[in-house]
Amino acid sequence: MACQEYFVRQLHAHGLRLTPQRELVLNVMHQLEAPATAEEIYARVHALSASVDISTVYRTLELFQEFNLVAAFDPGDGIRRYEHLGVEAPHHHLVCRACGKVTQVALEELQPLIAHLTAASGFVADAVALTIPGLCAVCATASETPL
Amino acid sequence: MACQEYFVRQLHAHGLRLTPQRELVLNVMHQLEAPATAEEIYARVHALSASVDISTVYRTLELFQEFNLVAAFDPGDGIRRYEHLGVEAPHHHLVCRACGKVTQVALEELQPLIAHLTAASGFVADAVALTIPGLCAVCATASETPL
DNA sequence: CTGGTTGCAAACTTTTTGCAGCGTC
DNA sequence: GACGCTGCAAAAAGTTTGCAACCAG
């Protein structure tokens, strides 16, 4: 859990403080196996400490994003998902436009392209969490039938 | 404007009707040079016909998405953008996590990868509108200074 | 005519904000 | 002890929905 340490250092560097709530949210983010909504994260945090408020969860997630510990993305359904940016292999999200299912894929061939992009335009892409909209296998098949 | 025709055919195929409002929204979508929010689209439609309601715009945009005429995505700021899926070259969106700026890039090398993805998993990715989160050149530079 | 469509208004969901008290450093 | 942080509650912003009248086919 090296990012725990990284987090504390970032806090200090910015004159901010380490609170139980922030530790709690960070721990919960570690446990996530898939991108989760603010409500889901709140539920997990709340289970560990009932007094934590959801507004604190939002504020903490925002902080994490600034420190690049967490990435946020929205499949397009208006509900933001948050995901821990760990040491896992870079991966991306296939988001089904019809059923909303989110699948993770490695797609490592993408990394060189992104690196090239950065070199060319100065745009620094986040390491992971590319969102690819489309139709999953099930819905793609289903959408052909009725036409 | 072949998609006008496509649209009408899709409507008929689904037992739906062509209304002035739907034509209006489709025209506005054609005029867009960049992804626009529902509010922005509503503003343009409203300028053409003041009586059209924003709920109609939402309903119409949803319809367009079902017909694959329009793609929706969310840079992560909680505000959905809509974009016409036309005959333009496939392109993607660089979304700055700090300033929210959306830049379009061609990045054509990506298409083979996506095609490969489809073949492998059955997931049918939308032709355009990949959202790549990160930091734009300006914000990336700025974020290094204060640390 | 029939049934899909619309505008209006109100409801809903998700996220943000103001503030007084609390707790970290 | 100072100042950042929290919980609460209320507001804001974006989107959806119910319904009666409307109009395209």
Pairwise CA distance, residues A112 & A62, whole Å: 29
Mean pLDDT of chain B: 83
Q: Which residues pair with B104 in a beta bridge?
A: B93
pLDDT above 80: residue A88: no
Q: Which nucleotide is nearest to A77 (CA to C1')?
A: D15
The minimal CB distance from B74 to the residues A76, A114, A130 is found for A76
**A79 in contact with B at a CB cutoff of 8 Å?**
no
| Percentage of residues of chain A with pLDDT beyond 90 | 41
The continuous run of DSSP H or E covering A61 comes out as: helix A54-66
Q: Which nucleotide is nearest to A63 (CA to C1')?
A: D5
The minimal CB distance from A105 to the residues B78, B117, B137 is found for B117
**A129 in contact with B at a CB cutoff of 8 Å?**
yes
What ranges in B1-147 are assigned the alpha helix state H?
2-13, 20-31, 38-48, 54-66, 110-121, 137-144
pLDDT band at B20 (very low <50, low <70, confident <90, very high): very high
CA angle B26, B49, B61 (to 5 degrees): 30
The minimal CB distance from A132 to the residues B97, B105, B130 is found for B130
Comparing alpha-carbon positions, the chain A residue that sits nearest to B102 is: A123
**How many other C-beta atoms are found inside a 10 Å radius of the C-beta of residue A4?**
14
pTM, whole model, 2 decimals? 0.80
Residue A49, judged by CB atoms within 10 A of its CB (0-12, 13-18, 19+), counts as exposed
For residue A39, give every residue at least 6 positions away whose Cβ sits within 8 Å of its Cβ, in sequence order, or none: A54
**B78 in contact with A at a CB cutoff of 8 Å?**
yes
**B20 in contact with A at a CB cutoff of 8 Å?**
no
Pairwise CA distance, residues B130 & B117, whole Å: 14
B76 and A80: CB-CB below 8 Å? Answer: yes
Q: Which residues pair with A124 in a beta bridge?
A: B135
Question: Please, what are the domains in chain A?
Answer: 1-88 (1.10.10.10), 89-147 (3.30.1490.190)
What does DSSP say about strands B81-84 and B130-135: parallel, antiparallel, or unpaired? Answer: unpaired
pLDDT band at A14 (very low <50, low <70, confident <90, very high): very high
Per residue in B99-146, pLDDT tens?
667 777 777 777 777 778 777 788 877 655 677 777 787 777 765 554
Distance from CA of A103 to the nearest CA of B (A): 10
Cα dihedral: A35, B76, B94, A84 (round 10): -30
Per residue in B29-42, pLDDT tens?
999 988 899 999 99
Pairwise CA distance, residues A87 & A89, whole Å: 6
Q: Which of B44, B1, B6, B103 is nearest to A125 (CA)?
A: B103
The bases of strand D with some atom under 7 A from any protein CB are 4-10, 13-18, 24-25
What pLDDT is recorded for position B146? 44
Comparing alpha-carbon positions, the chain B residue that sits nearest to A141 is: B122
pLDDT band at A24 (very low <50, low <70, confident <90, very high): very high
**A99 in contact with B at a CB cutoff of 8 Å?**
no
A113 and B117: CB-CB below 8 Å? Answer: no
